[in-house]
Chains A and B, each alone.
Chain A
Amino acid sequence: MTTNPTRTINPTRRAFVTGSAAAAAGLVLGFTVPLGRGGGAALAGAGHTDEITAWVVVRPDETVIIRIARSEMGQGTLTGLAQLVAEELACDWSKVATEYVPPSRNLTRGGAWKSFQTTGSRGIRGSHDYVREGGAAAREMLIAAAARAWGVPAGECRADKGVITHGPSGKTTTFGKVCAAAAGLPVPDKVALKNPKDWTIAGKPLKRLDTADKLTGKQVYGIDVRLPGMLNAAIRQYPLFGARLRSFDAAKALAMPGVRKVVKVGDDAVAVVADTWWQAKTALEAVDVVWDEGPHGRIDGADIAAMVDEGLDAKDAFVGNKAGDAAGAIAASVKQVQATYSYPFQHHATMEPMNATALWTPERCEVWCPTQSAEDALAAAAFAAGLTPDRCEIHRMHLGGGFGRRGAGPIHDYVHQAVRIAREMPGTPVKLLWTREEDMTHGAYHPVTQCRLTAGIDDQGGITGLRVRISGQSILAGIMPGRLAGGMDPVVFQCLAPKGDHAIAYSFPNLLVDHAMRNPHLRPGFWRGVNANQNAIYLECFMDELAHAAGQDPLAFRLKYMKDHPKSRAVLQAVADKAGWGRPAAKGVHRGLAQCKAFASYVAACAEVSVSDGGVVKIHRIVAATDSGHAVNPQQIEAQVEGSFVYGLSAMLMGECTVKDGRVEQRNFDTYEVMRIKDMPRVETMVMPSGGFWGGVGEPTIAVAAPAVLNAIFAATGKRVRDFPLKHSGLRLA
Chain B
Amino acid sequence: MAKINVNGRTVTVDADGATPLLWVLRENLDLTGTKYGCGIAACGACTVHVNGAAVRSCALPLEAVAETDRIVTIEGLSRDGSHPVQRAWMDLDVPQCGYCQAGMIMAAAALLARTPRPTDADIDAEISNICRCGTYQRVRAGIHRAAGGKA
* Interfacial residues, chain A to chain B (CB-CB below 8 A): 26-28, 73-76, 207-208, 210-221, 223-224, 226, 232, 257, 276-279, 282, 349-353, 398-403, 433, 435-436, 635-636, 639, 642-647, 668-670, 674-678, 680, 682-683
Contact with A along B89-131 (1 / 0, CB 8 A): 1100111111111100100000000000000000111011111
B108: min CB distance to chain A, Å? 10
Q: Could you tell me if B37 and A436 are in contact, using CB atoms closer than 8 angstroms?
A: yes
A217-B102 in contact given A668-B40, A674-B132, A676-B130 (Cβ < 8 Å): yes
A223 CB contacts on chain B under 8 angstroms: 32, 35-36
A621: min CB distance to chain B, Å? 11
Q: Could you tell me if B75 and A210 are in contact, using CB atoms closer than 8 angstroms?
A: no
CA distance A224 to B74 in the complex (A): 14
Q: Could you tell me if A674 and B130 are in contact, using CB atoms closer than 8 angstroms?
A: yes
A644-B134 in contact given A668-B38, A668-B39, A670-B42 (Cβ < 8 Å): yes
A selection of 13 A-B contacts at a CB cut-off of 8 Å is A211-B89, A212-B90, A215-B90, A217-B75, A276-B15, A350-B132, A353-B37, A400-B35, A400-B99, A643-B96, A647-B132, A668-B38, A678-B125
- The reply on B52 being an interface residue by CB < 8 A is no
CA distance A214 to B35 in the complex (A): 12
- The reply on B45 being an interface residue by CB < 8 A is yes
**Cβ-neighbour of B42 out of A219, A402, A668 (below 8 A):** A668
CA distance A682 to B140 in the complex (A): 10
CA distance A224 to B27 in the complex (A): 9
B55: min CB distance to chain A, Å? 16
Most buried by A among B33, B94, B128, B134: B134
Q: Could you tell me if A639 and B135 are in contact, using CB atoms closer than 8 angstroms?
A: yes
A350 CB contacts on chain B under 8 angstroms: 97, 99, 132
**Cβ-neighbour of B93 out of A403, A639, A670 (below 8 A):** A639
CA distance A400 to B19 in the complex (A): 24
Q: Could you tell me if A224 and B19 are in contact, using CB atoms closer than 8 angstroms?
A: no
In this complex, what residue of A is CB-closest to B135? A643
- The reply on B4 being an interface residue by CB < 8 A is no
* Interfacial residues, chain B to chain A (CB-CB below 8 A): 15-16, 18-20, 23, 26-28, 30-40, 42-43, 45, 73-75, 77-78, 81, 86, 89-90, 93-102, 105, 123-125, 127-140
Q: Could you tell me if B95 and A214 are in contact, using CB atoms closer than 8 angstroms?
A: yes
In this complex, what residue of A is CB-closest to B86? A215
In this complex, what residue of A is CB-closest to B27? A276
Q: Could you tell me if B135 and A670 are in contact, using CB atoms closer than 8 angstroms?
A: no
Q: Could you tell me if A215 and B32 are in contact, using CB atoms closer than 8 angstroms?
A: no
CA distance A232 to B28 in the complex (A): 13
CA distance A224 to B25 in the complex (A): 12
A207-B45 in contact given A27-B33, A217-B74, A276-B27 (Cβ < 8 Å): no
Q: Could you tell me if B35 and A680 are in contact, using CB atoms closer than 8 angstroms?
A: no
Known: A215-B95, A643-B134. 11 other contacts (CB 8 A): A211-B94, A214-B98, A216-B75, A217-B73, A221-B99, A226-B32, A350-B99, A646-B132, A646-B136, A668-B39, A676-B128
B125 CB contacts on chain A under 8 angstroms: 678
B28 CB contacts on chain A under 8 angstroms: 276
A219 CB contacts on chain B under 8 angstroms: 98
B27: min CB distance to chain A, Å? 4
In this complex, what residue of A is CB-closest to B140? A677
Most buried by B among A224, A278, A282, A351: A351
B54: min CB distance to chain A, Å? 14
Q: Could you tell me if B130 and A210 are in contact, using CB atoms closer than 8 angstroms?
A: no
B86 CB contacts on chain A under 8 angstroms: 215-216
B123 CB contacts on chain A under 8 angstroms: 677
CA distance A681 to B137 in the complex (A): 8
B130 CB contacts on chain A under 8 angstroms: 351, 669, 674, 676
